[in-house]
Amino acid sequence: MNNLKEHLKELEESHINLDVRKSPEKLGKILADDFFEFGSSGYTCNKKDCLESGVVLTEMSLHNYNIYPLSADVVLTTYYIVDKTRNRNTLRSSIWKLTDNRWQLFFHQGTITPLQLNEILGQIE
């Protein structure tokens, strides 16, 4: 289970990496064909939207990462993001699906939160 958690965390971190977010090719490999998102903006988007219009390019750091297996090939992940560029924090959740022996992002949601990093880290101690 720890190997799966670390692997999905690496994929999640690549999803927020600026080099990946700038590259439709790299981003396209992470996103499942039927990917959709409920953004922290309140808008929805799908894989086509992300690849054609691009995604928000901000410097983010990921904290308090957890996984919740839903089946052998579907995992819910949750975490907290510090968005240094927009000076805001979000609670995030993703659903990853194993397709053709590769984990891909199927669903993502971001919710703006007033919680600060020290409050989040204090919850896990």
* Structure confidence by residue, pLDDT tens digits, 60-91: 899 999 999 999 999 999 999 999 998 999 99
pTM of the model: 0.89
- Beta-bridge partner residues of 112: 90
Distance CA 76, CA 56 (A): 23
Distance CA 62, CA 48 (A): 25
- Beta-bridge partner residues of 79: 92
Which amino acid, one-letter code, is at 53? S
Q: CATH number for the domain including 71?
A: 3.10.450.50
**Could you tell me the residue range of the domain that residue 99 belongs to?**
2-123
Distance CA 106, CA 21 (A): 16
Number of domains present in the structure of the chain:
1
Which pair of structure tokens corresponds to residue 38?
């409920």
